[in-house]
């Protein structure tokens, strides 16, 4: 009975994923993408969504870069999860990123599973999903693909590029590699390089996936079973790092699911139940191989690497306005990481603003309604718009 149930469930999921392509608003490509690792990815497509309208000067475009498990559905109803977009509260008409005023673009990252070419895409040479044959790619490769999209939209200079966490890495990469293509950049809760601790957490997540027997060396796409448990555990671990000790305590404390203990290993505590739910709901919307590849791209990220560790050299041509934001309780991307970027930018006399926002909500603060954060974003964006004459 249970097996039948799972079979049906899997089939429904597959059907759902097949429908994803229809639900994605826009696709650019295919193009040939040269990767930092030396390989060339043929037939690369990028899925993206836009809101608002590009003005005649093409000066009002904002590129929003999503984080590790985010997607291009920033605002409005996400057609896959049926939930609100992940930055719904600040992107929309008369919101901070005002869609009446700006042309907002958000694309699914390279290697993602929401329409952009990734490990779950069909490798046309072999007529089967790439799986582990997908080449390793980097944050810069993601940005290069975005650049091709921006070129295709004939936008010479983005008014702003903004993102939190891995999205912040992309915002930094834009400011470093394509400084003339951005008027302003807003890297939030991020770093110029992935720290040892962050690589360590990612490695545990990847091992959880790869040690799931259903992972099958990444060739699970046409199989009945998928590495659901591995991906779910990876998400549970990651989710702990997105919150803070204080946030967990405040949200759950030692609250129980029921009044009596199970005297076993059921989810007695609400925090356990919450994490299990986070893990299970994640596997419905995310591809395990994408998770492996994208976490790897974050691990490989180090803006100073090409400059013998001199981060300021990475920003030597950066003339755009930059706003860097960190959060006090973010232990995944602590303020010290942001400060290192600020120092490097000061060395090049760049136009930079930095603030450490007080929040007890951990790394996830950038996705949540933190009043001070919103006020700063709003002030920065409207100030920059005033200066650019938008």
Residues that bind other proteins (rule: CB under 8 A) add up to a total of 27
DSSP 260: S
CA–CA dist 101, 389 (Å, integer): 12
Among 132, 153, 225, 342, binds other proteins (CB under 8 A): 342
The reply on whether position 313 binds other proteins by CB under 8 A is: no
DSSP 215: G
The reply on whether position 37 binds other proteins by CB under 8 A is: no
Give the per-residue contact string, 145-164, with other proteins (x = CB under 8 A; - = no).
Answer: --------------------
**Other C-beta atoms within 10 Å of 328: how many?**
17
Shortest approach of other proteins to residue 347 CB, angstroms? Answer: 6
Q: What angle do CA 198, 91, 153 make, to 5 degrees?
A: 90
Shortest approach of other proteins to residue 90 CB, angstroms? Answer: 15
Q: Which is nearer to other proteins, 151 or 369 (CB)?
A: 369
With 0-12 CB in 10 A as exposed, 13-18 as middle and 19+ as buried, what is 297? Answer: buried
The reply on whether position 343 binds other proteins by CB under 8 A is: yes
- Give 85's contacts (C-beta < 8 A, 6+ positions apart): 73, 74, 75, 76, 77, 78, 91
Among 75, 326, 340, which residue's Cα sits nearest to residue 186?
A: 326
- Residues tagged active-site: 165, 330, 363
DSSP 165: T
Among 105, 233, 323, 367, binds other proteins (CB under 8 A): 323
**Other C-beta atoms within 10 Å of 66: how many?**
24
Structure tokens, 356: 């450490």
The reply on whether position 317 binds other proteins by CB under 8 A is: no
Among 321, 329, 365, 366, binds other proteins (CB under 8 A): 321
Interface region with other proteins, contact rule CB under 8 A, candidates 2-10, 128-136, 138-146, 346-354: 346-354
Shortest approach of other proteins to residue 94 CB, angstroms? Answer: 17
With beta carbons less than 8 A apart as the criterion, state whether 236 and 223 touch: no
Interface region with other proteins, contact rule CB under 8 A, candidates 48-56, 100-108, 149-157, 378-386: 378-386
Q: Which is nearer to other proteins, 151 or 375 (CB)?
A: 375
Binders of other proteins among residues 347 to 376 (CB under 8 A) are: 347-349, 351-358, 372, 375-376
CA–CA dist 318, 312 (Å, integer): 10
Shortest approach of other proteins to residue 360 CB, angstroms? Answer: 14
Structure tokens, 289: 């191989």
Shortest approach of other proteins to residue 307 CB, angstroms? Answer: 16
For 333-380, the DSSP string reads: S-HHHHHHHHHHHHHTT-EEEEEEE--SSGGGGGGS--HHHHHHHHHH
Q: Which is nearer to other proteins, 25 or 353 (CB)?
A: 353
Shortest approach of other proteins to residue 221 CB, angstroms? Answer: 47
Residues that bind other proteins (CB under 8 A): 321, 323, 342-343, 346-349, 351-358, 372, 375-376, 378-380, 382-384, 386-387
């Amino acid at each position: 009975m249970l097996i039948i149930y799972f079979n049906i469930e899997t089939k429904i999921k597959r059907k759902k994923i097949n429908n994803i392509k229809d639900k994605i608003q826009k696709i650019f490509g295919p193009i040939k993408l040269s990767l930092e690792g030396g390989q060339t990815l043929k037939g690369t497509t990028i899925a993206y969504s836009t809101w608002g309208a590009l003005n005649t000067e093409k000066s009002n475009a904002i590129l929003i870069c999503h984080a590790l498990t985010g997607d291009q559905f920033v605002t409005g109803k996400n057609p896959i999860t049926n939930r609100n977009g992940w930055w719904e509260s600040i992107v929309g008409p008369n919101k901070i990123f005002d869609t009446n005023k700006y042309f907002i673009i958000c694309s699914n990252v390279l290697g993602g599973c929401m329409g952009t070419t990734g490990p779950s895409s069909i490798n046309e040479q072999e007529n089967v999903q790439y799986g582990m044959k997908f080449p390793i790619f980097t944050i810069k490769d993601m940005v290069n693909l975005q650049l091709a999209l921006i070129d295709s939209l004939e936008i010479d200079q983005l008014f702003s590029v903004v993102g939190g966490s891995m999205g912040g890495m992309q915002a930094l990469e834009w400011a470093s590699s394509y400084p003339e293509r951005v008027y302003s950049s807003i890297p939030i809760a991020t770093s110029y390089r992935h720290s040892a601790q962050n690589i360590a957490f990612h490695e545990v997540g990847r091992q959880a996936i790869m040690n799931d027997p259903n992972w099958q060396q990444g060739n699970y796409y046409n199989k009945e079973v998928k590495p659901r448990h591995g991906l779910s555990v990876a998400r549970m671990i990651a989710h702990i790092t997105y919150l803070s000790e204080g946030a967990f305590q405040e949200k759950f404390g030692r609250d129980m699911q029921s009044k009596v203990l199970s005297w076993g290993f059921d989810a007695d505590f609400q925090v356990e139940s919450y994490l299990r739910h986070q893990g299970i709901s994640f596997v419905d919307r995310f591809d395990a191989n994408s998770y492996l590849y994208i976490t790897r791209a974050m691990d490989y990220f180090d803006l100073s690497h090409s400059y013998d560790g001199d981060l300021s050299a990475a920003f030597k041509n950066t003339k755009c306005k930059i706003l860097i934001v960190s959060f006090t309780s973010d232990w995944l991307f602590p303020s010290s990481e942001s400060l290192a970027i600020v120092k490097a930018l000061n060395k090049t006399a760049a136009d930079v603003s930095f603030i450490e926002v007080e929040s007890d909500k951990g790394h996830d603060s950038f996705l949540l309604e933190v009043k001070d954060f919103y006020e700063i974003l709003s002030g920065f964006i409207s100030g920059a718009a005033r200066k650019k004459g938008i």
